[in-house]
Structure formats: C-alpha cells, structure tokens
Structure 1
Amino acid sequence: MEELRNRIKQSGWRLMEVESLQGMHAGQILKIRVLDKENRPIKLIYKVFAKDRNNEIDIYKKIFPYIKTLTPIIKIWTTEPEAVLMTDLNDPLKKSFEELSLSLKEDVLTKIIYELIELHALPNLDFLNRGVPLHTSSTEWYEWCIGQFEKLSTLIWYETDWVEAIRHSFQTCGMNSYEIKGPVVLTHGDPHLDNIFIKENGTISFIDWEWAALGSPLRDSSILLQDLYDSELVNFVKDIQHALLQERGFYQDEKIYIEDFNHLYIEHSYMMLAWEIEKFIEGYISEEKIKNIIKFKIAQIQNGSKELQKLLK
C-alpha cells in the first residue's frame, strides 16, 4: 500500500480510497480514488502483476505508443512491483450486453470489430522489429478441454457425446496441422466482453493486452465470439467482419476467410469450454449455466466442422 501511495504522490495526486477487486485475476486489481492537483476526484484502476504473469508489461514496452487511443492506461511501472494505472471506465461491456436489444448488440459489435481492424491495419513490420511474439496454433487448448471434460465425467448429467464431438472436430478438421492462410497483423489476443469498455463518448477501449501478438485478425474476433451465445449474432459478426476486412484490403478470397474463421473459432471454443468448466469447478458459475454453455459451444463446434469439411472436400 505504501508503494501505491508513493507512486500516486509522485504524480502530484493524493490517494483517498482503495478497494480490492475480487475474482480470478492474474495479480491484484485495486479501484482507487485520488485527488488531482486541483483537488478534483479521479477514479482509477491500479493493477499489480503477479511475477509469473507479468508478460503484459513486456508487451506494453513494445506496443504502447501504438495503442494509446485503444486503452485506458495512463501510466506503466516496469520496476518492482510491476503495475499499470488506468482510468476507471466503470463496468465492462459484458455486464450490460445481454440487456441490449438485438439491433444495439449488432451496433456495438460492429464498433468493436471496426476498432479491432484499425489495430490490425497498423504496419506489422514495426512490431516484428520490436520483438512482438508470433501467435501460432497448437494442441494446447484441445488437450486442456479434453482434460476438463474428464473432470466432469462423474457427474450424472455428463454426456459422452460431448467429448466425442470435440475429438471428431479435431481429427476431421486437421486442427493440429492447419496453418492460417490470411494476413499476419497485430492482434489484441483476448478481446472478450470483460476486457472491452465503452467510454462516455461512445468509443471503445480495450484492457488486458497480455496475449497481444502477431497473428490472424480472426484471432481477435474468434475470442470476442466466445461471449456470444446467439448463433444469429455469431453469423452477424462473421459477415460484418469479412465485409470490413475486405474494405481494408484483407481476405478478398472468401473461401480462405471461411477456413481461417472456422479453424480459429473452433480452437478458441475449446479454450472457452475449458475455461468455463474451470469456473464451474471453482464455484463461480452454476450447474445449469455450465450445461447451457457446453451445449451451445458443442453445437457451434459441430457447425463449424461441417462447414470446413464441405470446403476441404
């Protein structure tokens, strides 16, 4: 706490209130209130990184000048304890998204995709020279997903068809050998709805850039889609993203777009299934909710697999 007080003091502010946020965070997150030099109250978020999860600091060293307008971060500390200070934008989009009408959801998703494509359009040579990592597909999420389902296998409502559907998609779609065919761009890496905020002026802001890397632009959208449990919205994002990417000169070949989209969507559905099961095991979500999540994600994996198999014939 003394370290935080000193850091705030060095900015010419006074620390007034501190509240610790609970949850499955990679470190410690504090909501703080300070008084600026004119004694005006400011709400901020102070995030201290765990020593084994401080990759985000290294990423900011490489990309922060390019993403200032896309993030609420206002200060970064690279000395111990490594931390960032950012504007408190109140609740993330996830808390209000489900209450929006379908048309408003489509409007918000279009804005998010547009902002992500602005990120993707940055010259990637700059980031290669800065040592930004390259994202590659692996079997990690698939293996984690299978292992998580094994933990559920003793429950009375568990269905063996779930794991069979996952294994079938992995084998028939060549998930362990597929190479992305589209462009390589700078990606956020984790733009789910808990990491997205809408500012008072209506602009989009992203937090948690820990997994930022060079990769397919569809990497970001396939993670965004993991918070959508409406097949109509999934298809909407799929279509609007292709149209917007084409406007920026990406993915002129629709077949390649569909192949890349489905492979990444399936891969990240493995990841999200594993993560949601972990939250269920830890007591963060209910039995009814995890069952609904599993059923929807399995259906999405099966639909994507069928579409891919038609293209690959």
Structure 2
Amino acid sequence: MDDLESRLCEMNLEILSLEEIGGAHAGNIYKVEALSDNENTREHYIYKEFAEGRDQEVEIYKNIEEIMTPFSRVVNVWETSPQAMLMWDLGYPVKARYEALPIAEKKILISDILKVLASLHGMDTGQDKLPVHQLNAEWKDWCLDQLGKLGSRKSWASPQWKRTIQEVYERLDIPHYQTKCRSVITHGDPHLENVFYKDNEVWLIDWEWAAIGSPLRDVTILMQDIYDEELISYVPEFYLQYMRERGIYLDDNDFRSDLSYLYIDHLTMMLAWEVEKYFQGHLSEKRIREIIEWKIEEIERVKTEGMDRKNKFSY
C-alpha cells in the first residue's frame, strides 16, 4: 500500500481509512476515506490497482478522456507500475438493489441507463482512438470450456447446454457476422455491476472494453443481466424509439439483426463468467443453475428468431 499512500500524499490527501473490496475483480480495489489538506474535508474514493494484463482501461482513458468524463467520475490515473485509477466513491452498483425493485421502477431505472448509453453512442469523436469490435469465437470457446469443467464436477450439469451453444454459433455463423448498424463509441461492458446511480445521475465504470461498434453491443450486454421476459422485450424497443426521438435513425432490419447476434454472443460470454464466479465461490449452486437455464433458454429463443429472419432474407 506504499504506492497508494504516496500517490494520495502527492494529491494532498491523507488516508483516514482503507478497506479492500472483495469479489471477482480484475485487480485490487480499495475504498478510501481521505482528508483533503487544501479544504480540510473528508472525501470518499475508490482506488483500483489493475491486475497484470488487465490494464487496458488506463490506455483507453488516455485516448478518450474527454469522452469518458461526462459518464464517469475518474479523479486521477497512474500509468507507471502499478497502473491504477482513482475514482469518486459512487456507492453501490445498480445490481445491488435492482432485483428488489418493482417492475415499474425497474423500467424507469433501465430507461435512465439506456438514455446515458444513447448519449454516449451519439458522440462523434474518438473513432480513431479506439479498437473496432468484431464478433469471433472467443466467448463460445470460453463458455464451452467452462461448461465442460462444470460437467466434470457436477452431475446436474446437462451436456445439452454445450450442444446448444455449439449449434447456435454454427447455424448462425456468429463468429463471421458483420454488424449492420452504424458504428458508434461503445462502453463495452455496461452490465448492472458496472452501472451506478448517484446524485440522480447514471455513471459507468470499467471502460477497458470500450470500442467502436454497433450500439447493440452495449444494449445486449445490459440485456443479459435482466431475467424477466417483459423487460427483455422493453429494453431494445425503448432504446430504438429513444434514438429515433433524438433524430438518430436506425434501420429496423439492421437493428433486429445486430440485436440477435450480439445478444447471443453476450449471453454466452456472461454465462461463462457466471460459471467462473460460481467456481470462485461467489454464487450458490442453486443460483448458478437458475442463471444457466435462463440463458440457455434465451439463446434457444433468439436462435429461432435469428434463423427465421435469416431464412426470410435468403429468398
């Protein structure tokens, strides 16, 4: 912690308390209470020290600081080892309270998040400062590996889960799909643990996967964190209508096509990650089974819709 203390000291901040935040994080995260020498005020921060090989967010911040600023609460970034980031403490992620909300309040919260994503997607700078997102077989391969490990440890793990993943990627040729909507700046990982609501505003953290891509990239990552049929239908419809109200036209067929392919890919990605969280002891056996069964059913549903659409336009 010598690095943290010296870095805050250089900012005229005296550490009053320090607490490590547990969980499945890509690095070490600390909650910091500090006293400002300049104003003699107590402030609360989050200090994130990046794990080796997971420090892309530092480079992203350097490249698009002016774009991130309206959507994040970054205070300082250190490029020297250990690379780290200091942010204002935004409290708890939306996911911590989301499930307990009635559906009407969930819709309001989701709408607010989608409006922020739409604002990000409407920005017209940074096209040459970010990588380009493209679908590939990475998440499929990881998910099949994770489900294989799960099957070797638990008798309740169904072999059909792997077959479903394999079949949908082959039949829809997901790794070679080229997105159709106009490319925009995307956050890349706006699931509900990376979204905060503070001071009546929505804030986004963890920008390491920011890239140029279809706006449906962000929309479908948000969707995979929602376990309700009504809300799953609500998300893309609200986003499409909101974008059109802002004067941004999205072709309906392109929108539906990107929605299907990216949603399947992100369901698969997060299915693998949820299994990893189960292996690390962060999820119960009951919960991981519920998650897998829901995501597999969603993949089956979207596959059928995608195949119908693909057959329709092949004539």
Match of 1:198, SS? strand
Q: Which residue number corresponds to residue 60 of structure 1?
A: 61
Which letter does structure 2 place at the counterpart of 1:35? L
Match of 2:6, SS? helix
Contact 1:93–1:197 (Cα < 8 Å) also in 2: yes
1:218 has 2:219 as partner: no
Which letter does structure 2 place at the counterpart of 1:46? Y
Deviation at 1:138, TM superposition (A): 0.4
Deviation at 1:8, TM superposition (A): 1.5
Between the two proteins, what is the percent identity of the paired residues? 38
Aligned match of 2:243 in 239, 242, 245? 245
Deviation at 1:311, TM superposition (A): 1.0
Contact 1:73–1:85 (Cα < 8 Å) also in 2: yes
Deviations 1:219-243 (A, max 9, x none): 0111111211112111110211111
Deviation at 1:25, TM superposition (A): 1.5
1:277 has 2:278 as partner: no
Q: Which residue number corresponds to residue 182 of structure 1?
A: 181
Deviation at 1:10, TM superposition (A): 1.9
Provide the alpha-carbon RMSD of the alignment: 1.3
Which letter does structure 2 place at the counterpart of 1:176? P
Match of 2:193, SS? helix
Measure, in 2, the Cα distance between the counterparts of 1:134 and 1:89. 29
Deviation at 1:149, TM superposition (A): 1.2
Contact 1:74–1:86 (Cα < 8 Å) also in 2: yes
Match of 2:258, SS? helix
Deviation at 1:6, TM superposition (A): 2.1
> Residues 160-175 of structure 1: matches in 2 within 5 Å?
160-175=159-174
Deviations 1:135-194 (A, max 9, x none): 111000011111111112232212222222222211222212211011111100011111
Contact 1:121–1:248 (Cα < 8 Å) also in 2: no
Match of 1:127, SS? coil
Measure, in 2, the Cα distance between the counterparts of 1:166 and 1:5. 47
1:41 has 2:39 as partner: no
Which letter does structure 2 place at the counterpart of 1:34? A
Gap regions ≥5 residues in structure 2 = none
Contact 1:182–1:251 (Cα < 8 Å) also in 2: no
Deviations 1:2-61 (A, max 9, x none): 222222222222111111111221111111111122322111111111231111100000
Gap regions ≥5 residues in structure 1 = none
TM-score computed with the length of structure 1 as normaliser: 0.95
Q: Which residue number corresponds to residue 87 of structure 1?
A: 88
Which letter does structure 2 place at the counterpart of 1:3? D
> Residues 116-127 of structure 1: matches in 2 within 5 Å?
116-123=117-124, 126-127=125-126
Distance 1:21 1:82, change over 3 A: same
Q: Which moved more, 1:163-172 or 1:226-235?
A: 163-172
Measure, in 2, the Cα distance between the counterparts of 1:245 and 1:23. 35
Deviation at 1:269, TM superposition (A): 0.7
Measure, in 2, the Cα distance between the counterparts of 1:111 and 1:272. 23
Contact 2:181–2:251 (Cα < 8 Å) also in 1: no
Contact 2:142–2:272 (Cα < 8 Å) also in 1: yes
Match of 1:189, SS? coil
Deviation at 1:286, TM superposition (A): 1.2
Deviation at 1:251, TM superposition (A): 4.9
Q: Which moved more, 1:226-235 or 1:188-197?
A: 226-235
Contact 1:32–1:44 (Cα < 8 Å) also in 2: yes
Measure, in 2, the Cα distance between the counterparts of 1:49 and 1:153. 32
Q: Which moved more, 1:24-33 or 1:156-165?
A: 156-165
Q: Which residue number corresponds to residue 4 of structure 1?
A: 4
Which letter does structure 2 place at the counterpart of 1:18? L
Measure, in 2, the Cα distance between the counterparts of 1:78 and 1:162. 42
Deviation at 1:250, TM superposition (A): 4.2
Contact 1:251–1:257 (Cα < 8 Å) also in 2: no
Match of 1:35, SS? strand
Deviations 1:184-223 (A, max 9, x none): 11100011111110012x1100011010010111101111
Match of 1:7, SS? helix
Measure, in 1, the Cα distance between the counterparts of 2:23 and 2:286. 21
Match of 1:25, SS? coil
